[in-house]
């Protein structure tokens, strides 16, 4: 399928044309990261005391290319809403119309996403990608055939790329991804499993909280989807067409374009995890621009994090992909950067050579200087113990 994007004609079913979306991706700044790492080490704090906060501060310096970059101020939550054809197999605890209901909650500003966003003074934006209508979504069940037509794939990719460019043009410092869907964890499991050649039990979890019977339906559907995907091509367009969905395709393109535009992204949920796996296959450097906020309990998300070599910020057990984990991580990131750039260094308050100060000899000298003075020489006066008698002639102490 040929689509117009930024004055170019792209065939989004071609891997080479998908790579064009990420042609401008640059690595984050290693120099700024090293400076930030040294800056944290120089703070008036015990070495290593910031733990994972140091990792976050270093990452932020790298993506901003500035060791003195302030914490992210201009932040937005993007809720990508979409449905999945595989939901008709009864693989979710949620009915197919749940996405539309959630959209009404978001439109009214009374969603859990809005509540969490308000705490951090963050705006919420919604993007609808193949939300189910009266006859269901445009994507189809992947256990019986390809889940996406070339037309749906093209529409989703161009929508995601356009969203990324629009967000970057708005001058955002950071984007927090969120998702609203039914059966998103089933599609995420199929995409991650097909991309990594995983077995069913390695990628299928409980998702929205399905019971054992629904889990078995889910596992059977994903198993059949993996079988069909492995029979086809392994490049990204082929995988999307076989077991993907509109929101996964749109998010894949969005992640590539955000990395190309220098906009860091916090990922939240199985759809964004699956999209990250695919985007990484298109442009390995793009992973440097992403952050996982939460370990979660969904196996396909774990497999994605492990394959990308990305450690999540928290392990709070948050199971929803509505951006709550991402916004919680935003607060942690802001704290990490604020502390790392506070400027209160050991050299400022202890002006002597910090390297010499850190030696064992210097530490002993410092302890000795702080200790009470006790005379132990031959002329030292000895204070008699309480109740002891002193011989005036010899100065001896007798009991």
DSSP string over 130-179: S--BTTB-SS--TTTS-S--HHHHHHHHHHHHHHHHHHHHTT-SEEEEEE
Top pLDDT among 35 and 391 is at: 35
Task: Supply the pTM of this predicted model.
Answer: 0.85
Per-residue pLDDT averaged across 189-215, rounded? 96
Q: What is the mean pLDDT of the chain?
A: 88
pLDDT at 299 over 80: yes
pLDDT at 381 over 70: no
Residue with tokens 């535009």: 261
Spell out the domains of the chain, with CATH numbers in brackets.
2-24+72-329 (3.40.50.10210)
Distance CA 278, CA 160 (A): 14
Percent of the chain whose predicted confidence (pLDDT) is above 70: 85
pLDDT score recorded for residue 233: 78
pLDDT score recorded for residue 353: 54
Q: Going by DSSP bridges, is the β-strand pair 174-180/397-398 parallel, antiparallel, or unpaired?
A: unpaired
Query: By the 8 A CB rule, do 142 and 193 touch?
Result: no
Burial of 177 (0-12, 13-18, 19+ CB in 10 A): buried
pLDDT score recorded for residue 345: 85
Per-residue pLDDT averaged across 87-105, rounded? 94
The vertex-250 CA angle with 281 and 333, nearest 5°, equals: 75
Of the listed ranges 75-79, 88-92, 95-99, 324-328, the one predicted with least confidence: 95-99
Distance CA 239, CA 226 (A): 10
Distances (CA, A) of 242 to 145, 149, 235: 7, 9, 11
Token digits of residue 149: 């037509």
Of the listed ranges 13-22, 78-87, 310-319, the one predicted with least confidence: 13-22
Of the listed ranges 69-73, 182-186, 376-380, the one predicted with least confidence: 376-380
Q: Going by DSSP bridges, is the β-strand pair 2-5/290-291 parallel, antiparallel, or unpaired?
A: unpaired
| Residues 262-283 pLDDT 10s | 999 999 999 999 999 999 999 9
pLDDT at 369 over 50: no
pLDDT score recorded for residue 162: 92
Per-residue pLDDT averaged across 297-315, rounded? 96
Query: By the 8 A CB rule, do 147 and 183 touch?
Result: no
Top pLDDT among 47 and 134 is at: 47
pLDDT score recorded for residue 14: 75
């Amino acid at each position: 399928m040929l689509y117009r994007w930024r004055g170019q004609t792209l065939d989004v079913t071609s891997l080479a044309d998908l790579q064009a979306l990420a042609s401008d991706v640059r690595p984050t700044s290693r120099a700024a990261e090293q400076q930030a790492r040294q800056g944290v080490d120089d703070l008036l704090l015990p070495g290593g005391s910031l733990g994972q906060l140091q990792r976050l501060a270093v990452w932020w310096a790298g993506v901003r290319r500035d060791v003195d970059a302030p914490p992210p101020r201009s932040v937005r939550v993007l809720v990508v809403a979409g449905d999945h054809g595989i939901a008709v197999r009864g693989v979710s605890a949620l009915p197919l119309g749940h996405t539309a209901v959630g959209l009404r909650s978001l439109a009214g500003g009374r969603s859990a996403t809005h509540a969490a966003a308000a705490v951090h003074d963050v705006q919420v934006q919604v993007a609808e990608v193949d939300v189910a209508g009266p006859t269901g979504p445009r994507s189809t069940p992947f256990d019986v055939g390809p889940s996406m037509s070339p037309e749906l794939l093209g529409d989703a990719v161009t929508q995601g790329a356009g969203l990324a460019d629009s967000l970057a043009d708005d001058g955002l410092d950071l984007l927090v991804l969120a998702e609203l869907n039914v059966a998103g964890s089933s599609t995420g499991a199929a995409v991650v499993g097909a991309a990594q050649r995983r077995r069913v039990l390695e990628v299928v979890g409980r998702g929205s909280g399905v019971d054992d019977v629904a889990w078995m339906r889910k596992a059977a559907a994903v198993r059949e989807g993996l079988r069909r995907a492995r029979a086809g091509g392994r490049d990204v367009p082929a995988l999307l067409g076989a077991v993907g969905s509109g929101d996964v395709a749109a998010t894949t393109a969005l992640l590539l374009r955000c990395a190309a535009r220098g906009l860091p992204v916090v990922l939240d949920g199985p759809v964004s995890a699956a999209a990250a796996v695919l985007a990484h296959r298109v442009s390995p450097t793009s992973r440097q621009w992403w952050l996982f906020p939460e370990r979660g309990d969904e196996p396909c998300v774990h497999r994605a994090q492990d394959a990308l070599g990305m450690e999540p910020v928290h392990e709070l057990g948050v199971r929803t992909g509505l951006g709550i984990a991402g916004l919680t991580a935003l607060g942690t990131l802001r704290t990490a950067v604020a502390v790392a750039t506070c400027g209160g260094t050991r050299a400022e308050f202890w002006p002597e050579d910090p390297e010499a100060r850190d030696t064992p000899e210097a530490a002993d000298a410092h302890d000795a200087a702080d200790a009470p003075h006790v005379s132990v020489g031959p002329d030292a006066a000895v204070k008699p113990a309480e109740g002891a008698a002193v011989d005036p002639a010899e100065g001896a102490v007798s009991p």
